[in-house]
Amino acid sequence: MLIKSPNPLHARESEVTDRDTWLSRRRFLGKAARGAGLALAASSGGAGALLAGCEPAAVTARHSEGQLRLGDIEANKRYLLPDTITEKAAATTYNNFYEMGVLKSDPRENAHLLKTTPWSVRVHGLVDKPANYQLEDFIAPQQLEERIYRLRCVEAWSMVIPWVGFPMADLIGRAQPTSKARFVKFTTLLDPSMLPGQRTPVLDWPYVEALELKEALHPLTLLTVGMYGEILPNQNGAPLRLVVPWKYGYKSIKSIVDIEFTDRRPVPSWTRAAPNEYPFYSNVNPSVNHPRWSQARERRIINIPRGLDAIGALLEPKIETLMFNGYPEVAELYRGMDMTRLS
């Protein structure tokens, strides 16, 4: 990233909470989405969509205006973590979303400019079933679930976030890529009237990211529509965001409007801007440093810092960064490949 100075946030050393305590804080909810009659439809209020599941049980998420609602979402227990979950207030106020500005506080401040209804998503390229979906049709067939993932930014901070979404592999199953497809390219909305950062050529807009098809098919790769049991806030990439937890955060592209299957390796925006700093694969790897800073450790952000804690620039990253961000099961994707080139 174009960081001129280190981040102002502080990490806590008390990173690990005991699993039972954590579990008792969580509520495991009834079946979501499809089975429970999920419907995602434009709201009559015009400022949002209604994502309505079965009758609210333990948690029903609502948009602040009350126009968005996630139904009951079941946590996928396979992806529970012992880590302390980052507070929502921190995850929604300390953001990277350059289309909304380059400061960490800009996305929150400019979030209201982005209108996510109506929203369409084009799925095309080397697929048997291309389609131009309205968001509600895109999501309706999917079984939503909650997954808690670590998010490791290349800037050496990290968070732990409960996402709501569905496996990218499910969408790939719907799109039916042809045998020639090898990569999946994702593109963010291009609209400077709603994304004022696009009026400045910080990056070559629109923001583009890409995965190898086999990476996109990996069960960890998630298309998300929510976090913390609620519809994604705009600053976090509403209404549709990719999350690839073993890669640096910039691969997790926000506010997606286009998904293309291709046989040619796309050039992601950050790779185009600085290929030696942000290579295509960008797998989290503590032993491969960014040219300008170490990737061995990270500052875990749990809550909004106060007082001196806010001067994160002066604080050393405290936690060891884990290979593949602690998701070793993806190593099989890269067997035989030179890991120092893949980071």
Residue 215's H or E segment, with its range, is: helix 213-216
The closest residue (CB) to ligand MTE is 249
Contact indicator for 329, 245 with CB cutoff of 8 Å? no
Taking the complex as a whole, the smallest distance from the CB of residue 105 to ligand MTE amounts, in Å, to 11
- Residue 153 binds ligand MTE, judged by CB under 6 A: yes
Q: Residue holding tokens 């499910």?
A: 170
Q: Which residue, 76 or 105, is less far from ligand MTE as judged by CB?
A: 105
Name which position in 43, 96, 142, 224 contacts ligand MTE (CB under 6 A): 96
Q: Does residue 53 interact with ligand MTE by CB under 6 A?
A: no
Cβ neighbours of residue 200 closer than 8 Å, sequence gap 6 or more: none
b/e sequence 213-251, b meaning 16+ C-beta within 10 Å: bebbbbebbbbbbbbbbbbbbbbbbbbbbbbbbbbbbbb
- Of residues 9 and 126, the one with the C-beta less far from ligand MTE: 9
Could you tell me the smallest distance in angstroms from the CB atom of residue 1 to ligand MTE?
5
Could you say whether residue 1 binds ligand MTE (CB under 6 A)? yes
Does 149 engage in binding with ligand MTE (CB under 6 A)? no
Q: State the minimum distance, in angstroms, from the CB of residue 203 to ligand MTE.
A: 7
- 95 lies in the binding site for ligand MTE (CB under 6 A): yes
Residue 295 interacts with ligand MTE (CB under 6 A): yes or no: no
Residue keyed to tokens 């996305």: 107
Work out whether 188 is an interface residue with ligand MTE (CB under 6 A). yes
Residue 268 as a binder of ligand MTE (CB under 6 A): the answer is no
H or E element that contains 286: none
Footprint of ligand MTE on 206-265 (CB under 6 A): 207, 236, 249-250, 252-255
Question: Measured from the CB atom, is 117 or 235 closer to ligand MTE?
Answer: 235
* Binding letters toward ligand MTE, positions 167-186, x by CB under 6 A: --------------------
In the sheet that holds 131-134, the strands lie side by side as 131-134, 120-125, 256-262, 183-188, 208-212
Q: Which is nearer to ligand MTE, 93 or 143 (CB)?
A: 93
Per rule CB under 6 A, is residue 98 in the interface with ligand MTE?
yes
E strand segments, the chain:
39-42, 49-52, 61-62, 69-70, 74-75, 120-125, 131-134, 145-152, 157-167, 183-188, 208-212, 222-227, 230-231, 241-243, 256-262, 297-300, 319-320
51 vs 195, which CB is nearer to ligand MTE?
195
Interface segment toward ligand MTE; rule CB under 6 A; list 25-33, 89-97, 171-179, 302-310? 89-97
88: CB partners within 8 A, 6+ apart:
227, 228
Query: What residue has token string 């990277």?
Result: 96
Residues in Cβ contact with 164 at an 8 Å cutoff, skipping those fewer than 6 apart: 61, 70, 73, 144, 145, 146, 224, 225, 226, 227, 229, 230
Among 97, 163, 278, 327, binds ligand MTE (CB under 6 A): 97
271 lies in the binding site for ligand MTE (CB under 6 A): no
For ligand MTE, the binding residues (CB under 6 A) are: 1, 95-99, 151, 153, 188, 207, 236, 249-250, 252-255
